[in-house]
Structure 1
Amino acid sequence: MIQTRGSGILLHVTSLPSAYGVGDFGPSAYRFVEALAKARQHYWQILPINPTRVEHASSPYYSPSAFGMNTLLISPDLLVREGFLRRTDLEPVPEFPEGRVAYEAATWYKDRLFSVAYQRFLHSGPERRYEEFCDRSRWWLDDHALFVALKDHFHGQEWSRWPEEIRARQPEALDDMRRRLADEIRREKFLQYIAGRQWSALHQHCTDRGIQVIGDIPIYVAYDSVDLWQNPGIFKLDDDLRPTVIAGVPPDVFSETGQLWGNPVYNWPLLRERRYDWWVSRIARAGELYDLFRIDHFRAFADYYEIPAGDTTAERGTWVDGPGADFFEALARRFPCSAIVAEDLGANTPAVQGLLDRFGFPGMKILLFAFGEGLPKSAHIPHNYIPNLICYTGTHDNNTARGWFEEEASEEDKQRFFAYIGREVAASEVHRELILLAATSVARASIIPMQDVLGLGAEARMNYPSTSEGNWEWRMTPEEFADAPFDWLRGLTELSGRA
């Protein structure tokens, strides 16, 4: 439960300004934290910082590792400061586009730098902190690093296509590959060490300034991941280790055929027998990285939609009971469940609401959803809020506030919006009116996407659900950062009692 009234900004790390094609844990991140503190903000919300792959559109919600970190977020500037690179090693820096993330080019460029840094690390002699990190993280790091090395060794092939003895994790075969790929494994462990060290320092910088980091846990994992390869029994797979059912959501007003996500579905009965050990480890890892964390598609803990593997649409799926309260009771024996934020958007069933009420999880409300025909009784309109929730203008899956007004809102929606705020405004003012509604609501936390703080249009949208092109690419330019209205935000934060 969020105990105190506060506010914050939603901005993924990749969206920070940087000279290297993608935002990272470097100087711009520290300047952003300073700007948050100056504006009296209490929260910085980010998207998952797990590894991404270009072949999966660099989606942070389709990661090959639920425990590893995205090494693309390592800052070259900090590698220079830490002595792993020289300033001359950075040259030549490609001319990366401003305002968009260049994932492929940034990956190529940073891989070259990482190889230089790794060689310098090898020649520097033993480092106690690295060895301590490897020992402390062995429970997830060993298999993660082996998986990364094997993926490269087998030219990116899906793990289900690896030789049978490797696919089935026969101990002798894995020991042999660990010997053959020892250098590649050590390189990945080094990069995970650096990523973890840089993130830990940035997180501490947030803590020192009274800012809590809200992370993000995707409910499902990718099939081609170390998690499936390591733990096939906790997913619904057949004898050939292929999914029997996959995740998605049924047809609705937004999609006639539903959404086919394609992720494997958990074998909850087996996990229940094991007292949810894999999930306990996952929550423990989240606790290492964040102060609070949003669990995406929270509804799946109450009931989830599974679709026969091989179907091309989500029309033939069925709803299946999830683990429910038993899961969170098991977690509560190990962790303070007060760190959890429930992404409860969509159809909020009595079972979902029961979990929220029983365990005190704050849910989410989206102002962009509030101005339809059912406005008076809408769960997303501020006069229906309860304190224990987080109010957003929108999330990474929505259009920006201005983009919504200019491209998606009907004339009737606009008139209801004007009536609610008491006056008509131009499209260029809509974002501030929505931020004002969020700030002055009774919700204990209001979180505003950085794009809405800046008043940007649809060109700054982060993600179009059910599409795979052009997502996760928006990046704040240095000029936008310099001109951001943090002083205005501070005044509103103080006025609304959120400072």
Structure 2
Amino acid sequence: MVKAEPFRQRHGGILLHITSLPGSDLGADAYRFVDFLAEAGITVWQVLPLGPTHEDLSPYQCLSVHAGNPKLISLQALVEEPWFGACEVDLGDRKAVLQQGCRRFAIYANQAMRAEFAAFCRDQAFWLEDYVLFQALRETYGHTPWFEWPRKLFRREGQVLKAASQELGALMDRNRFEQFIFFRQWSRLKNYANWHGVLIFGDMPIFVAHDSADVWAQPEYFALDKDGQLTVIAGVPPDYFSATGQRWGNPLYRWDRIEADGFRWWLRRMRTQLRLCDIIRVDHFRGFEAYWEISASAETAVKGHWVKAPGESLFHTLEAYYGALPLVAEDLGTITPEVEVLRDQFHLPGMKVLQFAFDGGPDNPYLPENHVENCVVYTGTHDNDTILGWFNSLSEDKRHWVYECLGFPAEPMPWALIECAFQSIAQHAVIPMQDILELGSEGRMNLPGTTEGNWRWRFNWSQIKSDLAVRLRCLVERYDRL
């Protein structure tokens, strides 16, 4: 298999989700961050999934696999559009500003902008129309999940959907407008990053949320009963993160039906991701070889079983359609030789997390000396504690062992592990921004197996020391990642 273009040279990257920017949106702070990356010689910006989230804010349980999160829209950039016009707005009221933007666009947008909007709606119609109706209905029914709506709606009876579309036309128009603005702002930011030599590294969860436009619109592709309820769910068995496993609660695919349709659902999903990103991390890659099936009534993920998935057929189909794909396989957790064969068959880089390197023996695959070129090395991920939080939680003997494994570097933590990542033979090295900023556990993004208090961390510009860009650039240059 041929390497995808982003994997033909060494890169240094930083992991920072859009919500962790000071402004938490696609506005001025995002562009300033690109400038910082370019100054530091960093050529990869990794983000988490970009879809609209539920109330728990998890980007891994989105309301759509195609849509962008309207909460990431920069309201400041929106009101500066020429068609918005000069008028007083309260940027603290996001819903009101977006509603006003939709109205003013309909009245004042010029012909070119209207044509761009029409082209967007036409090109994205394969998911957009279901999504905007889903969101309008969800808002109408107090944000309750679709499987609690009136039966005729969740069963998508034709005349009922037609009547709902006519009644909720204004809400649907606003949702179309929001998606247009999101993709327009995202495209501008991505182009700015690419122009400055920075690749956007995105993230694609393998599974989708039960309460999502995708499951509502195409329930035939998911393991549901006649009432839209789950009979079996996704998760993982006990692992490094949890002694009882992780009970994700996502619906499982009916792979036989998806494969019988030529994997059209996945071809469309990949089309959206390739538009958004230059590189895509495939979360829970091992689920394409076999996935952990849990009874929906089970309280934990301990009792379940592995079920084979048609990953080889899927990736052959994707490559036949799109060519060599810029995918990274998230191959953490319970990895079997069969999963490794699937990953290597399609020449997909895997992941090496340095925080996992110091348990076990000399054959631990995360130890720096055991890295391979075709992989991405991380100090930690969004699911890990920061380097300092992790390191300070270790016993004195274990901390000494870590330094011994690293050859007793002169640098203290976290820079000792950051330099180790940049030094690695791995083609890509990506460091969470929290580690770059030398933060402790207060900077942790997510604690797997919990639903409270996650996904809320953000940095501020005062935390960036005046010499930080120079310090990073020295590492990038020293280890040939410029």
TM range (shorter): over 0.9
Is the contact between residue 37 and residue 209 of structure 1 (CA under 8 Å) also seen in structure 2?
yes
AA matched with 1:324: G
Q: Which moved more, 1:273-282 or 1:385-394?
A: 273-282
1:117 aligns with 2:110: no
Picking from 2, 20, 27, the partner of 1:15 is 20
* Matches of 1:457 and 1:85, distance apart in 2: 43
Q: How has the CA–CA distance of structure 1 residues 485 and 210 changed in structure 2, closer, same or farther, with 3 Å as cutoff?
A: same
1:141 equivalent in alignment to 2:128: yes
Alignment counterpart, residue 420 of structure 1, candidates 381, 384, 405? 405
Residue 38 of structure 2 corresponds to: 37
The total of aligned residue pairs comes to: 474
**1:442-481 to 2 correspondences below 5 Å:** 442-481=425-464
- Give the deviation of 1:37 after TM superposition: 1.0
| CA apart distance, 1:453 | 0.8
Equivalences for residues 202-351 of structure 1 within 5 A? 202-252=189-239, 254-351=241-338
Q: Could you tell me which residue of structure 2 aligns to residue 198 of structure 1?
A: 185
TM-score (norm: length of structure 2): 0.95
C-alpha change, 1:76 and 1:482, in structure 2 (3 Å) is farther
State the Cα distance separating 1:53 from its structure 2 match.
2.1
Kept in 2, the 8 Å contact 1:76–1:90? The answer is no
* Per-residue deviation, 1:241: 2.1
Say if 1:338 and 1:360, in contact at 8 Å, map to a contact too: no
Q: Which runs of 5+ in 2 are unaligned?
A: none
Q: In 2, Cα distance between the equivalents of 1:251 and 1:46? A: 27
Shift of 1:118: 1.7
Unaligned runs of 5+ in 1: 95-108
* 1:400 and 2:386 are equivalent in the alignment: yes
Contact 1:52/1:64 (CA < 8 Å) preserved in 2?
A: yes
Return closer, same or farther for 1:215/1:178 CA change in 2, 3 Å cut-off.
Answer: same
> Post-superposition shift, 1:257?
2.4
Which residue does 1:439 correspond to in 2?
Answer: 422
| CA distance in 1 between partners of 2:466 and 2:154 (Å) | 52
1:362 pairs, out of 335, 342, 349, with 349
Where 1:69 maps in the other structure, the secondary structure is: coil
Question: Which shifted more, 121-130 or 140-149?
Answer: 121-130
Name 1:102's counterpart in structure 2: none
User: CA distance change for structure 1 residues 276 and 432 in 2, over 3 Å: closer, same or farther?
Assistant: same
Q: Which residue of 2 aligns with 1:67?
A: 66
Are the aligned partners of 2:20 and 2:456 in contact in 1 as well (CA < 8 Å)?
A: yes
**Separation (CA, whole Å) in 2 of partners of 1:85 and 1:237:** 44
Describe the shift of the 1:282–1:25 C-alpha distance in structure 2 as closer, same or farther (beyond 3 A). same
Q: Distance in 1 between matches of 2:167 and 2:29?
A: 39
Deviations for 1:4-61, whole angstroms, at most 9, x for unmatched residues?
111111000111112xxxx11111111111111111111110000000122xx11100
Q: Please tell me whether residue 389 in structure 1 is matched to residue 375 in structure 2.
A: yes
| Deviation (angstroms), 1:113 | 1.5
Per the TM alignment, residue 484 of structure 1 is displaced from its structure 2 partner at its CA by 6.9
Between the aligned partners of 1:50 and 1:137, the Cα distance in structure 2 is 15
Measure how far apart 1:483 and its partner are: 4.4
For 1:16, give the aligned amino acid.
Answer: L
Query: Aligned equivalents of 1:484 and 1:52: distance in 2?
Result: 36
Shift of 1:255: 3.0
Q: Distance in 2 between matches of 1:423 and 1:339?
A: 36
Amino acid of the structure 1 residue aligned with 2:42 = Q
2:179 partner SS? helix
How far is 1:140 from its partner? 1.0
Residues 224-269 of structure 1 show CA distances to partners (whole Å, capped at 9, x for unaligned) of: 1111101111111122221110011113464332211111001111
1:106: which partner in 2?
A: none
TM-score, scaled relative to structure 1: 0.92
Query: What's the CA shift for 1:425?
Result: 6.7
Read off the aligned partner of 1:410 and give its amino acid letter: S
Residue identity matched to 1:400: T
CA contact (8 A) 2:84 2:105 kept: no
Using the TM superposition, give the Cα deviation of residue 85 of structure 1 relative to its aligned residue in structure 2, in angstroms.
Answer: 4.7
Cα deviation code 1:350-401 (max 9, x no counterpart)? 1110012110000000011111242x21111110011000000000000011
Question: Offset of 1:481 from its aligned partner?
Answer: 3.9
Q: Secondary structure at the match of 1:169?
A: coil
Report the Cα distance in structure 1 between the residues aligned to 2:371 and 2:85, rounded to whole angstroms: 53
Q: Which residue of 1 aligns with 2:49?
A: 48
Q: Deviations over 1:415-445 (max 9, x none)?
A: 111112333778xx31111111011110011
Cα distance in structure 2, aligned partners of 1:483 and 1:155: 48
Per the TM alignment, residue 412 of structure 1 is displaced from its structure 2 partner at its CA by 3.3
Using the alignment, how far apart are the partners of 1:252 and 1:498 within structure 2? Answer: 33
Residues 11, 46 of structure 1: 8 Å contact kept: yes
> Following the alignment from structure 1 to structure 2, what is the Cα–Cα distance between the partners of residues 87 and 25?
21
Q: What's 2:366 paired with?
A: 380
Structure-1 separation of matches of 2:388 and 2:242? 24
CA deviations 1:277-313 (Å, max 9, x no partner) are 1111101110111111001000000111011111111
**Other structure's SS at 2:321 match:** coil
Equivalent residues of 2:13, 2:43 under 8 A apart: yes
- Residues 45 and 214, structure 1, Cα contact 8 Å, conserved in 2: yes
Structure 2 Cα separation of the partners of residues 86 and 473 of structure 1 = 33
The CA distance in 2 between the partners of 1:425 and 1:497, in whole Å, is 21
Give the percent of matched residue pairs that are identical in Structure 1 and Structure 2.
41
Q: What's the counterpart of residue 105 of structure 1?
A: none
Q: What is the Cα deviation at residue 316 of structure 1?
A: 2.0
Matched residue type, 1:53:
H
